[in-house]
Structure 1
Amino acid sequence: MNLSGFHKLSVAERLKVIKQLANLSDEESALLSESCALKIEVADKMIENVIGTMHLPFAIAANFKINGKDVLIPMALEEPSVVAGASKAAKLCLPEGFKAEADDSIMMGQVQLVNIKDAKKAKKKLQERKEEIIKKATDAYKGNPAYWGGIRDFEVELFKTKRGDMLSCNFFIDVKDVMGANTINTIMEAIAPELEKLSEGKARLRILSNLAVKRKARASAVWKKEVIGEEAIESFLDCYEFAVANIYRCATHNKGIMNGIDAVALACGQDWRAIEAGAHAYASLGGYHPLTRYEKTREGDLKGEIELPLAVGIYGGAINTSPTAKIALKILGAKNAKDLAMAMAAAGLANNFAALYALATTGIQAGHMKLHARNIAMLAGAKTPEEIDAVAAKIYEQKNFSSDFAKRVLEEIRKK
């Protein structure tokens, strides 16, 4: 898939290219070009107290090859340089691209039990009745059979707290190609009375966990020394090890990963808040650490890897109501939840590489501010594409990014 010069095309020209590559219908391509694709009457049914809709740029990160297949990565976000950074990182690891894999869609649901007379005895009893509990929980599922992979396991944990002994009854459920929150929560509420009876306790929380450790995705790539330079690799690894050693840097390191993952999540109608919670909780296991790993290979190249939980789906939630989310998934070519998770993991690794590569070489602000200059130009009042480009070029040339300077540049341009 050759998208060379894609960023130089007009919006209409880019959409025409993607329409052909993703086999979009006239209606689907028209929805992408309309800023009000989400109708107000639909938005009003999605959440409470709606007064309007909010829009973000919808873009395509190019040059991605995942498991030997060319992939278009849809992104929705407001921050400059994320799409460009991901596209550059993906291009620099061609022709091999990214290798990726994803676990089955196993989510954990929890029923918290309190006010138990004998927690140890109750735990033992619950464990002994495991098969019976699994069967009754399974019978509680009344949803679409296509979204149900069954209850894979059940366990009970005992916790001593300031409020007394508590039990956590953990169900591990295969939710197939949905994110799974509604499925899990429905089953937890349905099975809670049975757990209360067996434990002689009281159920409190009956809800899924967003730390989906059995639903991880992984991606890796190699950037050749002949492409990015041996000195750059040494600098890159120094920057990475700083994140390993320093939690303050590590927080920003992981934020750079989530730049790409959240952008894909937003475009594809995913619960990005759940994804963020799971990612940072996973990074905290055993002490907060980077979600990526980098090392120099025997050949002297740079190898990067990422692993994190990604509870995503291609059905349900906002996907059912957001017209652009459905189109984004079509552009991505995601046939199942694993495809989406692998693409998101690759995007996260790409954006992390792009940030570290820039920091290790030219500095992060050079490319970022060049793109951000357009936002400043618009803030100063530039209206047409010609005005925006002219003002942005001038303020970047002068390295003066104040809005006052941008306004003066705009006035001079308009006098000509």
Structure 2
Amino acid sequence: MSSFEKNIPVIHGFSKLNRRQKIELLKELTKIDKNLQETLDSWLPKSRDEQDTFEGFIENYITNYHLPLGVVPNMVINGKSYTVPMVTEESSVIAAASRAAKFWAEHGGFQVKIGGTEKKGQIHFTWDGDKNLLINHFNTLRKRMILATEPVTQKMRERGGGIMAVRLKDKTSLLPSYFQIDVSFETADAMGANFINTCLETMAQVLKNSAGDLVPDGNIEVIMSILSNYTPDSLAECTVECGIEHLSKWSGELTPQAFARKFELANRIAQTDISRAVTHNKGIYNGVDALILATGNDWRAVEACGHAYASASGSYRALTETEIS
């Protein structure tokens, strides 16, 4: 161990300290505000029950972090008007969203189509035997895996969901001996993370237990069984449309026609140039993330999936398209 490493203090047992003890230790280590306890306490809720709820969410809790919540009125989606909550620290996001919502509400609103709601999960495993044996016996394996999950999927199937497809994918061109069982799910109105992972873990156990009698001339090692946040078949398409003459409200010194051409070209640049595409999509997620945060959902998963989808063609590109007709 280097002398540099020896001089780095390592804290042991921090998670076992109560909140006050954690704060006292932080004061000692950081030498910051002597009123740290009072500052952190000022952000606590008055209700003990609420406080217990917050403390139960995360490890090493010391206080709450407040962000402002605002609303965007006039959000007309498929002919129905909504008031949309948003949580953000960026002052212009809700202002811009509100102006846009009002403009499009006067021009037919947002038209949204759901293209699919399929979610995915995978069993990642290695197989060191003849891959043709694995492929030839996979139909039997598939049936055993689906049968084993029936107690887990029963209620979901009653709601119209469940396991939709189970596929074996040969990934040996990417990594030696690497295979994947790709499973498609419908989870009705649920996010379905626990449901999907439970199904995958059950199926992985069947894979391990069945390998010996179905494909004895090789070894299967399950690396992980887990849902994927990449859901390219869970899609929503949103469109807006107006006459070019209505853009005079935004065109400034330009004619509406010149403004529309410039707007369309800016979108095409974001389709072809990664430097512009990243910033373009960040602007989209200013609003998306704010809504996801306000509704208590997983904005990290939404962002990761969206940026992966933006790269699906092989290069990162804008998530929007503009057409002048």
2:187, 2:202 → 1: CA distance? 17
Aligned to 1:207: 226
1:95 equivalent in alignment to 2:107:
yes
Question: What RMSD, in angstroms, separates the aligned Cα atoms of the two structures?
Answer: 2.3
SS at match of 1:217: strand
1:283 equivalent in alignment to 2:310:
yes
**What number of residue pairs does the alignment pair up?**
264
1:117 equivalent in alignment to 2:117:
no
Deviation, 1:147, is 6.5
TM-score normalised to structure 2 length: 0.75
The correspondence for 2:320, drawn from 267, 285, 292, is 292
1:146/1:127 CA distance change after superposition, 3 Å: closer
Deviation, 1:196, is 2.0
2:267, 2:174 → 1: CA distance? 40
SS at match of 1:113: strand
Deviation, 1:82, is 0.9
Q: Deviations over 1:116-142 (max 9, x none)?
A: 322332133123443332222233347
The answer for unaligned runs of 5 or more in structure 2 is 1-42, 212-218, 248-255
Which shows bigger deviation, 102-111 or 284-293? 102-111
Q: Is the 8 A contact 1:64 1:71 kept in 2?
A: yes
The answer for unaligned runs of 5 or more in structure 1 is 1-33, 298-416
Where do 1:180-259 residues align within 5 Å?
180-199=192-211, 200-228=219-247, 229-259=256-286
Percent of residue pairs bearing the same amino acid type: 31
2:175, 2:109 → 1: CA distance? 52
The correspondence for 1:86, drawn from 61, 80, 97, is 97
1:274/1:216 CA distance change after superposition, 3 Å: same
The correspondence for 1:159, drawn from 153, 160, 171, is 171
1:139, 1:168 → 2: CA distance? 24
Aligned to 1:177: 189
Which shows bigger deviation, 55-64 or 161-170? 161-170
Tell me the amino acid that sits aligned with residue 203 of structure 1.
V
1:192, 1:272 → 2: CA distance? 29
SS at match of 2:282: helix
Q: Is the 8 A contact 1:104 1:174 kept in 2?
A: no
Runs of 4+ that moved beyond 6 A: 142-148
Q: Is the 8 A contact 2:44 2:51 kept in 1?
A: no
1:67, 1:150 → 2: CA distance? 28
1:178, 1:105 → 2: CA distance? 11
SS at match of 2:189: coil
Aligned to 2:10: none
2:265, 2:134 → 1: CA distance? 52
Q: Is the 8 A contact 2:127 2:179 kept in 1?
A: no
2:159, 2:307 → 1: CA distance? 27
Where do 1:248-327 residues align within 5 Å?
248-286=275-313, 287-297=315-325
Deviation, 1:176, is 1.2
1:186/1:222 CA distance change after superposition, 3 Å: same
The correspondence for 2:59, drawn from 48, 56, 59, is 48
Tell me the amino acid that sits aligned with residue 225 of structure 1.
I
Deviation, 1:51, is 1.0
Q: Deviations over 1:299-323 (max 9, x none)?
A: xxxxxxxxxxxxxxxxxxxxxxxxx
SS at match of 2:177: strand
Tell me the amino acid that sits aligned with residue 293 of structure 1.
E
Q: Is the 8 A contact 1:122 1:198 kept in 2?
A: no
